[in-house]
Chain A
Amino acid sequence: MKENVLASETQTGAPAFGRGRSWAQVMERYGILVVFMLLVAASALLSPVFLRPANILNVLRQISITGVIALGMTFVILTAGIDLSVGSVVALVTVLAASFQRLGLVPVLLLGLAVGSAMGLINGVGIAMGRISPLIMTLAMMYMGRGLAFMYSGGLPIYGIRPAFIQFGNGFTVGIPNSVLYFVVLLILSIAVLRFTAFGRFVLAVGSNEEAARLAGVRVSRVKVQVYVLSGLFSGFAGLVYAGQLGIGVALAGLGYELSAIAAVVIGGTSLFGGQGSVFGTFLGAAIVGVTNNLLNLMGIDPLVQDFMKGLIILAAVLINRRRT
Chain B
Amino acid sequence: MAILELHGITKRFPGVTALQEISFGIEEGEVHALVGENGAGKSTLVKILAGAVRPDAGTVLYLGHPVAFREPQDAIQQGISTIHQELHLAPHLSAAENIFLGRYPLTRRVTIDWPQLYRDAEAVLGRLGVTLDVRQRVRDLSIAQRQVIEIAKALVHESRVLILDEPSAVLGRHDLRLLFGVLAALKAHGTTIVYISHRLEEVFEIADRVTVLRDGRRVGTRPVQELTVVGLVQMMTGRSLEELWPVRQHQVGEVALEIRGLSRGQVFRDVSLQVRSGEIVGLAGKVGSGRTEVVRAIFGADAVDAGEILVFGRAAAIRSPWAAVRYGIGLVPEDRKIQGLLQNRPLVENISLTNLGRFIGAGFLRLGQEARAVLALVRALNIRAAGLGQLVKYLSGGNQQKAVLAKWLNSDCRILIFDEPTRGIDVGAKVEIYGLIERLAAEGRAILMISSEITEILGMADRIIVMRAGMIAGTLTRREATENRSAFDALLDG
Contact = CB atoms under 8 A, between A and B. Distances in A.
A17 B346 CA distance: 13
Interface stretch (B66-74, B204-212, B316-324, B463-471): B316-324
Nearest to B383: A6
A211 B365 contact: no
A260 B215 CA distance: 49
B14 A211 contact: no
Contact of B344 (A195, A215, A275): A275
B375 interface: yes
Contacts of B342: 204-205, 208-209, 212-213, 275
Interface in A168-227: 192, 195-198, 201, 204-205, 208-209, 211-219
A276 B393 CA distance: 13
B386 A16 contact: yes
Contact of A12 (B321, B324, B363, B389): B389
Interface in B337-370: 338-346, 348-349, 352-354, 356-357, 360, 363-365, 367, 370
- Of the candidates A5, A9, A14, A195, the one having the most CB atoms from chain B within 10 angstroms of its own CB is A9
B389 A212 contact: no
Given A5-B386, A10-B375, A214 B345 contact: no
Majority secondary structure of chain B interface residues (helix, strand, loop or mixed): mixed
B9 interface: no
B356 A11 contact: no
A218 B322 contact: yes
A104 to B, nearest CB: 31
Nearest to A221: B320
A219 B342 CA distance: 15
Contacts of B149: none
Interface in A221-246: none
A123 B346 CA distance: 30
Contacts, number: 136
B386 A215 contact: no
A226 B96 CA distance: 42
Nearest to B394: A15
B494 interface: no
B367 A12 contact: yes
Interface residues of A, number: 40
Interface string B1-21: 000000000001011100000
A198 B389 contact: no
A11 B375 contact: no
B407 interface: yes
B378 interface: yes
B346 A12 contact: yes
B235 to A, nearest CB: 19
A15 B354 contact: no
B189 interface: no
A238 B391 CA distance: 36
A25 interface: yes
Contacts of B363: 197
B376 to A, nearest CB: 11
B384 interface: yes
B333 interface: yes
B441 interface: no
B364 A192 contact: yes
Contact of B321 (A204, A217, A276): A217
Contacts of A218: 322, 353
A14 B363 CA distance: 23
A48 interface: no
B327 to A, nearest CB: 11
Contacts of B320: 214, 219
A7 interface: yes
Given A9-B386, A196-B365, A215 B14 contact: no
B388 A204 contact: no
A13 interface: yes
A16 B321 contact: no
22 contacts: A2-B16, A2-B215, A3-B379, A6-B375, A7-B375, A10-B372, A13-B389, A15-B387, A15-B391, A16-B15, A16-B387, A16-B389, A18-B14, A195-B365, A196-B364, A197-B364, A201-B353, A205-B345, A209-B343, A212-B339, A215-B331, A217-B353
Given A196-B364, A197-B363, 7 more contacts: A2-B384, A12-B389, A213-B353, A214-B320, A215-B301, A218-B353, A276-B344
Nearest 5 CB-CB pairs, A to B? A16-B387, A9-B387, A18-B15, A217-B325, A208-B342
